[in-house]
């Protein structure tokens, strides 16, 4: 059987992640980049079609999304409705939005992937945190990102907090007064998350667990956006074989 070339469009093709993903797809055997979208892009057709109008994107097998939290839901709704298999890296989707997209994908019998983090170190951190939370239920998350990140907390931190909450037997329950609002972070499912934004950082996360007389810290660092590309590649290789909209790279790892 002849393996057909899979066509790809990238929403957010001019961004930090979008540019790396353009390089990835252009150099990936068996894949062809046919379109890129960004609202401030100057339209061009030389190598592949670049447009600032979503509706001008050509039809393709895969829609990769690295845009902004404010538009990702509408983008993926559009992608699924138009028959693209979505590979979603953009943060900011709420749990109910993910469910709505999963329902839409199911009605279209279309597979896709939403990955809060494409980096292996972050995916493993979440799994280790889930395991540790069984024995150390009292935990807090600290996430550190570059100063241009639009949303806080990060999608990865939210996924980490949910994983901890799902596996622990009880939540942190301390009697405290915040004399400065926000001093104790923001809580997701009872797990405090502290968000740091500083130049020089890319994407990093630490989970601190405390128990009587001992503590455990798990940390991951993405020093470079290249760290996400093996996950994006794997997602592109598998997404057209999926028949549901899967959440989490760990669910498609071999």
Ligand X SMILES: O=C(O)C1=N[C@H](C(=O)O)C[C@H](O)C1
- Residues annotated as binding site for NAD(+)? 12-17, 89-91, 115-118
Contacts of the segment 98-104: beta carbons below 8 A, 24+ positions apart: 98/245, 98/247, 100/73, 101/73, 101/76, 101/77, 101/245, 102/244, 102/245, 102/247, 104/77, 104/80
Whether 145 is catalytic is yes
Least distance to ligand X, CB of residue 203, Å: 4
Q: Which residues are annotated as a binding site for (S)-2,3,4,5-tetrahydrodipicolinate?
A: 146, 155-156
Of 28, 32, 49, 69, the one binding ligand NDP by CB under 6 A: 69
Of 18, 137, 155, 231, the one binding ligand X by CB under 6 A: 155
Residues in contact with 19: Cβ distance below 8 Å, sequence separation at least 6, in sequence order: 13
Nearer to ligand X by Cβ, of 130 and 145: the residue is 145
Of 32, 39, 49, 210, the one binding ligand NDP by CB under 6 A: 39
Residues in contact with 66: Cβ distance below 8 Å, sequence separation at least 6, in sequence order: 10, 11, 12, 15, 17, 18, 21, 89, 90
Find the distance separating the first CA and the last CA of the chain, reported in whole Å: 24
Residues 78 and 211: their CA atoms lie apart, in Å, by: 47
Nearer to ligand NDP by Cβ, of 52 and 243: the residue is 52
Q: Is 40 in the site for ligand NDP (CB under 6 A)?
A: yes
Whether 130 is catalytic is no
Of 28, 41, 124, 242, the one binding ligand NDP by CB under 6 A: 41
Residues 76 and 40: their CA atoms lie apart, in Å, by: 19
Q: Is 36 in the site for ligand X (CB under 6 A)?
A: no
Interface residues toward ligand NDP, by CB under 6 A: 12-18, 38-41, 66-69, 71, 89-91, 115-119, 228
Which of the residues are catalytic? 145, 149
């Amino acid at each position: 059987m002849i393996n057909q070339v899979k066509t790809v469009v990238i929403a957010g093709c001019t961004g930090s992640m979008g540019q790396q993903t353009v390089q990835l797809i252009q150099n990936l055997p068996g894949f062809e980049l046919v379109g890129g979208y960004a609202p401030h892009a100057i339209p061009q057709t030389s190598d592949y079609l670049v447009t600032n109008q979503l509706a001008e994107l050509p039809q393709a097998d895969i829609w990769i999304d690295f845009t902004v939290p404010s538009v990702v839901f509408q983008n993926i709704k559009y992608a699924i409705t138009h028959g693209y298999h979505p590979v979603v890296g953009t943060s900011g989707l709420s749990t109910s939005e993910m469910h709505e997209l999963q329902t839409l994908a199911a009605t279209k019998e279309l597979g896709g992937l939403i990955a809060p983090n494409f980096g292996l170190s972050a995916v493993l951190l979440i799994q280790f945190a889930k395991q540790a939370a069984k024995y150390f239920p009292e935990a807090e998350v600290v996430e550190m990102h570059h100063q241009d990140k639009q949303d806080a907390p990060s999608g990865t931190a939210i996924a980490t907090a949910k994983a901890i909450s799902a596996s622990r037997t009880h939540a942190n329950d301390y009697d405290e007064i915040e004399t400065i609002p926000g001093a104790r972070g923001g809580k997701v499912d009872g797990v405090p998350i502290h968000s740091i934004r500083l130049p020089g950082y890319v994407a990093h996360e630490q989970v601190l667990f405390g128990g009587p007389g001992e503590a455990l810290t798990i940390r991951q660092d993405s020093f470079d956006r290249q760290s996400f590309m093996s996950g994006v590649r794997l997602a592109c290789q598998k997404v057209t074989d999926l028949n549901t909209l899967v959440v989490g790279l760990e669910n498609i790892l071999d």
